[in-house]
Chains A and B, each alone.
Chain A
């Protein structure tokens, strides 16, 4: 009975007793959700256009952030470093397409998946070789990213909104809108959607698969850079950042592998769900349940919709 009370009633009593903390929890969940969906977005872009489940997205985040900070450390001004990093990410996309994807075209999904593991290993070694293993500080102020917080008084307490988190939310929204426009309105965007529908049909109408792949990997690279800047600002730029990328996986299965809105909404559900769960129900299990709660949330959704919330319906024929 006591247990039932703790599970079913007590958390809500707490929510009512300290509404400012509830709002803060929701806000924190929202922010982490936005950042999760940002990582998931990188996965979705590549999966949509090439059917590759890109495990290397996590290390691309680290690599992009390291390149940016590393360039700035050797004296390149912040915005030029940013530009150069974008060039580096383009180079990476080009090389990945040329050396990895092209020879592996038409292979089963799992083989391409495996190849991205190879890429991950390579980038870990390469990144440490070039930039060293020292954690680095993200150059937030040089990039004119705000710091500090707005403390808003409400419900007898306060809610603190970090400016960098607000910036993250704004930047992510802008990115999603521009990606959506890019997909809907431009020539390349239309080609991308055609490739996503069917490789063969796209090829037959003269769309260059190679070009499309470079474009999506490049787009994923830019998403990785933005992710790296935002997570880097929250803690530091180091190789342990790639673990965070695993958090994108439940977001992906929840939202569906092929849907950009799915990645966004999935991210928000996971982010808010796990923060609320950890904050109000976590102590019952001895806390720290965040590491698996997201997966369980996703699993529950999956049992009802096996293709994710927004995934294309899986139709099997014999």
Chain B
């Protein structure tokens, strides 16, 4: 009824293979983009932008990166935090050494440093599989974590061992630092995330994406049909780390404004992994859903509990938030183990056949 593709005919193969073959999807996407680029910056409060939207977009980008590795290629990694850190520290070094170059360029370039390390730590992936590989990626996480603290060159010998983001401009408006408006920061992040999402979407729908999925479903069989296993896996590590690196750089430069190495610890890796699994393994949309749920839920819960007006102390609210998040994770998994992305698909299907379900 709401969502019917009757009457939409495809006359070329190209049209049939489009990422969004249904008209309503394209309209929906246009609405989302218009509201994200125009409505939200115009209407939203600073609190909504800085506390909800900016972190949401950045975390969604990181979980998209991990989803490429874990969801599409089936390599479970717990090194995300470390790779995000590599991006952030690389960007800091680049922009302090060459302050003249635009910060957005450096953010996009810093991802390549993560890529390099991602490939390096991805090397054991041919031999080690499953949970064993997961724990092997932990080695990279802890090693990088330690390096961020120990290699003082990375922080330009800062006495606090932290990176402090200098003010940088874009179109002669401050885009990082305290004077950058939330609206401008949001728009820059949104543009980068949109661009990278578009790229990832093309990637996973194309030949490379199919190679990844073949490896995920059964790597031996994939090898037999002529997919070069090692290259495919390393490519997944490379691209995944690139996304994580960019997300890490964005996180420090556009959200935190300064970061201690502790920010990129193992908890960060776990959080991103939650987002991927809850959102839906092997779904880019799912990454956005997952980021929204895992990051947004505690904030929503806290504000709901506040809003109800019960006079509970903040610490108790925090405890209840923890319990509810835990319970909800289990609940979502019980209801739909394939994640929110799958729930979304089911909803779409229902809308399609409504009001006459069969």
Contact = CB atoms under 8 A, between A and B. Distances in A.
Q: Do A and B come from one complex?
A: yes
A296 B146 CA distance: 13
A252 to B, nearest CB: 7
A79 interface: no
B256 interface: no
A246 interface: yes
Given A122-B327, A126-B323, A302-B128, 5 more contacts: A114-B274, A114-B329, A129-B316, A292-B143, A302-B124
Nearest to A251: B135
B139 A125 contact: no
Contact of A110 (B124, B143, B277, B322): B277
Interface of B: 76, 124, 127-132, 135-136, 138-139, 142-143, 145-146, 149-150, 218, 220-221, 224, 266, 270, 274, 277-278, 281, 315-316, 318-330, 333-334, 337
Contact of A299 (B136, B221, B333): B136
B146 A289 contact: yes
Contacts, number: 138
Given A104-B334, A114-B278, A121-B329, A292 B323 contact: no
Assign chain A's interface to a size class.
Answer: 35 or more
A289 B150 CA distance: 10
A250 B132 CA distance: 9
A295 B136 contact: yes
A125 B326 contact: yes
Nearest to B329: A118
A13 B124 CA distance: 34
Contacts of A188: none
B267 to A, nearest CB: 10
A103 interface: yes
Contact of A295 (B139, B318, B326): B139
21 contacts: A104-B333, A110-B76, A110-B281, A111-B337, A113-B131, A115-B330, A115-B333, A118-B325, A118-B333, A119-B326, A121-B325, A125-B320, A125-B326, A128-B315, A129-B323, A253-B131, A253-B135, A291-B146, A292-B139, A302-B124, A314-B129
A129 B320 contact: yes
Contacts of B224: 318
